Amino acid sequence: MVYLRKIKKLWNNYLLGGLTHQSHEQIRIVEAINSFSIVGVTSFLAFGSLHLYLGNLVQGFILLGLGLYGILNVVLFRVHKNHVVVKSQILLIMIFVLDFLLFTGGLRGTGIFWVYTYPFLAFYLGGKKWGFCWICGFIITSVVTGLLSEFEVFDIYYSFYQIRQMIFSFFAVVLLVFYYERIRTTITNALLKQQKEIVRKEMLEEQFESAEDLQYYLIPQHNLFYENFETVSFYKQALGVGGDYFDYFKMDANNLVVFLSDVSGKGIASAI
């Protein structure tokens, strides 16, 4: 159990990138960057090693190089903490990798299936606006790759028609992810707004209770005794605080001074 707690602590420290007192949105971005980085690095190193084992030296060394670059990128991110630069690098590297897979076909022609991971990555890291821009960039490079295949400028694994169909289906996935991201953003903003309203309401309630206590202690807390009568004070506002106020004090052994006031209305407005 001790080792599991240590591993969990190290994993959380890696995900947060050493951040502690940051906003919820910044923590979400850092967790996303570090999560995608570890997945990407692991994939590059694994598939690179597999390509080398199968004798595909060029593909293997390129993927291993990208994996090592990903490790360096994670280390540098913990130093400069510039998530804008890191997000751009991740999305740019993924465009290069996906185009590389379209050129080579990946492992036995399965490389084209990896392109459908890009919409999720782009929208999650870049948001709706910049995510859509990055996706358009990948679509443009895919069209160029398809044209190079059509005119046989390079020896590309997939044909123009395969790449064309990939772009159409890719765009359909983009629309689905876009609307999902739009709904997610709307719900997140609504929850954040509701949370702020709850905090604001709690603060107002605390201030209201303080004002109620203060007004209560302004009322006489002691009774006065005379030969034929005695004073007893009781104070209860309709809305916690109000415009009613009274006080009394002993002038001499036979005289009592009473002060009464009443502002029209109820609640905070009359209390002020």
Task: Tell me how far apart the alpha carbons of residues 47 and 43 are, in angstroms, rounded to a whole number.
Answer: 6
Which stretches within the chain are classed as H helix? 2-16, 24-54, 57-80, 83-104, 118-150, 160-218, 268-271
pTM for the predicted model, two decimal places = 0.68
In this structure, which amino acid lies at residue 57? L
pLDDT at residue 258 in the model:
75
Report, as ranges of residue numbers, the positions in the chain whose pLDDT lies below 50. none
Whats the size of the chain, residue-wise? 272
The two structure tokens encoding residue 158: 């997939």
Contacts (Cβ under 8 Å, ≥6 apart) of 246: 219, 220, 233, 235, 258, 259, 260, 261
DSSP string, 31-85: HHHHHHHHHHHHHHHHHHHHHHHHT-HHHHHHHHHHHHHHHHHHHHHHHH--HHH
Burial of 193-215, coded b for 16+ CB within 10 Å and e otherwise, reads eeeeeeeeeeeeeeeeeeebeeb
pLDDT at residue 4 in the model:
74
pLDDT at residue 191 in the model:
86
Interaxial angle between packed helices 83-104 and 24-54, expressed in degrees from 0 to 180 and rounded to the nearest 10 = 30
What one-character DSSP code corresponds to residue 230?
Answer: B
pLDDT at residue 259 in the model:
72
Task: Identify the three-state secondary structure at position 17.
Answer: coil
Task: Tell me how far apart the alpha carbons of residues 268 and 15 are, in angstroms, rounded to a whole number.
Answer: 48
Task: Tell me how far apart the alpha carbons of residues 191 and 202 are, in angstroms, rounded to a whole number.
Answer: 16
Q: Distance between alpha carbon 55 and the CA centroid of its chain, in Å?
A: 43
pLDDT at residue 37 in the model:
87
In this structure, which amino acid lies at residue 176? L
Measuring CA to CA, which residue among 13, 16, 181 is closest to residue 83?
Answer: 16
Q: What is the pLDDT of residues 42-51, one digit of tens each?
A: 999 999 999 9
Task: Identify the three-state secondary structure at position 179.
Answer: helix
pLDDT at residue 268 in the model:
64
